[in-house]
Structure 1
Amino acid sequence: MNPPVPGAAQLPLALRYPPDQRFDTFVGAPDGALAQLQALATGHERGGVLLQGPPGVGKTHLALAACAHAEAAGLRSAFLPLATAVGRLGAALEALDTCDFIALDGLDAVLGTREDEVALFHFHNRAMDGGRRLLYTAGTPAAGLTIGLPDLGSRLAACTGIALAPLDDEGRRELLQCRALRRGLVVEPAAIDWLLRRVGRDLGGLTRLLDQLDRASLAAQRRVTVPFLRQVLAAEPASDDAGTPGG
């Protein structure tokens, strides 16, 4: 989602932040992480948090969930995928100066670009001085990021770090069952086991796969069984290196 535009405040919450991307739909968070992010989003905790982990562990999911949580509490939030603002980050960030909570997703994308690093440094300082809260996501902890501007590196290092790890098989099973239940999708246990043997651990890939199965099940008016899975996925087998919109 891009920086706020005129009229954006009137959009229903579910249109700005997808209903699947909520704290209560996240599986496998470290102990205390969800409570910490909720407190950050609503202003009960100050400062900045750096949420890190490899692709597909749910960083974007939690960033969107935090934004939705802030707005449900009557605060102004913004979600900015940093990859969309490379080379023009200063202008994009200026549009967010009036928000109470800001999630900056994909920090790695803008590091190494001097003007973007400077813009981010100044924005971070403005946010902290104004009592606003920041949530960053990145592929590695602050100490492992390649940052050309030392002052920015020190600001990011001062953020509280939360590390996410890939789900194990039990976590993936819980995720599939939870997402299917929210969609009203009937998936037989044997079908979930079959899927787990054939798909990767990426949360975004699992979510897209459920979307595909939901549409196919509705169109065919069938339960999701192993034979039905084979039929639906025959043309487009699930890939272990699926993209990571839920990164």
Structure 2
Amino acid sequence: MFTQLTLDITLKDSFTFDNFVTGDNQLLVDLLKDKKLDSEKQVYIWGMHNAGKTHILQALCQYYSGSNINVSYLPLHQLISYSPEVFQGQEEMDVCCIDDVQLLCDKPDWQEALFDLINRARENNTRLVISANQPPTEISIELNDLISRLQWGPVFKLNELSDTEKCLALQQRAECRGFDLADNVANYLLNNCHRDIADLFVILETLDKAQLQQHRRLTIPFVKSVLGD
């Protein structure tokens, strides 16, 4: 069961394992999808901006949806304006996903709260899945004991997709939206737009809305007309 705070936090329907192109990250995905939950009690995932960290954490929550596994998702970019009390009771979950831990820099009360949660989670056999933009040893957190706790489990770098994998990701996203994305159109987007995969997904959504409104097929000339190229 997916448990959520009484805050305005929702999961994106498109963030699933079905449309997550694993690339060189298969070992991480296999570990997260292991429903036995006793192999690793804490997993730390880091990667550059828009590498897919939020996607994989939300995909994990949706993967467990409908099962007997209780999971929560805590996006710190939304919660940081609240009190660190949001960590209270999270050790009662089977799985707790915490996104963007680097945002706790210069916030000693939050750092102490996360330190305490990690200790409680270990005592309660709760699996913590934590994301950040840097490895634990390089993250700008002042509480050294917390840095040590963040290394209690395996640390994975979320590797960026290759160009071929980005094209595949675009085609899978298009398929989820109900249309086919030709190879030449996918390659055009990759070579003529911002290469960040998250930005490419936004462009793809814009193109999909345009083709539905104008009853057009997604061809390169149509893409150029929509994007103003």
TM-score (norm: length of structure 2): 0.90
**Contact 1:89 / 1:119 at 8 angstroms: preserved in 2?**
no
**Matches for 1:80-229 after TM superposition, within 5 Å:** 80-86=74-80, 88-94=82-88, 96-229=90-223
Question: Which amino acid letter does the alignment assign opposite residue 196 of structure 1?
Answer: L
Question: Which amino acid letter does the alignment assign opposite residue 111 of structure 1?
Answer: C
For 1:115 and 1:180, the matched residues in 2 are separated by 43
For 2:135 and 2:83, the matched residues in 1 are separated by 22
C-alpha RMSD of matched pairs (Å): 2.4
**Contact 2:40 / 2:153 at 8 angstroms: preserved in 1?**
no
For 1:95 and 1:212, the matched residues in 2 are separated by 40
**Contact 1:166 / 1:201 at 8 angstroms: preserved in 2?**
no
For 2:157 and 2:131, the matched residues in 1 are separated by 10
1:19 aligns with 2:13: yes
Alignment-derived partner of residue 4 in structure 1: 5
Alignment-derived partner of residue 28 in structure 2: 33
After superposition, give the CA deviation of every residue in 1:55-82 in whole Å (9 maximum; x if it has no partner). Answer: 1110100000111122243222111111
**Contact 2:73 / 2:97 at 8 angstroms: preserved in 1?**
yes
SS in 1 for 2:155: strand
For 1:4 and 1:42, the matched residues in 2 are separated by 25
**Contact 1:107 / 1:138 at 8 angstroms: preserved in 2?**
yes
SS in 2 for 1:142: coil
**Contact 2:42 / 2:128 at 8 angstroms: preserved in 1?**
yes
**Contact 1:46 / 1:131 at 8 angstroms: preserved in 2?**
no
How many matched pairs? 227
TM-score (norm: length of structure 1): 0.84
**Contact 2:189 / 2:200 at 8 angstroms: preserved in 1?**
no
**Contact 1:3 / 1:95 at 8 angstroms: preserved in 2?**
no
Alignment-derived partner of residue 69 in structure 2: 75
Alignment-derived partner of residue 242 in structure 1: none
Where does the alignment leave 5 or more consecutive residues of structure 2 unmatched?
A: none
Give the CA deviation at 1:150: 1.5
Identical columns (%): 27
Question: Which amino acid letter does the alignment assign opposite residue 32 of structure 2?
Answer: L
**Contact 1:104 / 1:137 at 8 angstroms: preserved in 2?**
yes
Question: Which amino acid letter does the alignment assign opposite residue 25 of structure 2?
Answer: P
Give the CA deviation at 1:181: 1.5
Give the CA deviation at 1:51: 0.6
For 1:200 and 1:72, the matched residues in 2 are separated by 37
**Contact 2:75 / 2:98 at 8 angstroms: preserved in 1?**
yes
For 2:38 and 2:215, the matched residues in 1 are separated by 47
Question: Which amino acid letter does the alignment assign opposite residue 126 of structure 2?
Answer: R
For 1:87 and 1:190, the matched residues in 2 are separated by 44
**Contact 2:104 / 2:141 at 8 angstroms: preserved in 1?**
no
Where does the alignment leave 5 or more consecutive residues of structure 1 unmatched?
A: 9-14, 238-247
Pair 1:45–1:126, CA change in 2 (3 A): same
Which structure 1 residue ranges, 4+ long, deviate > 6 Å from structure 2? none
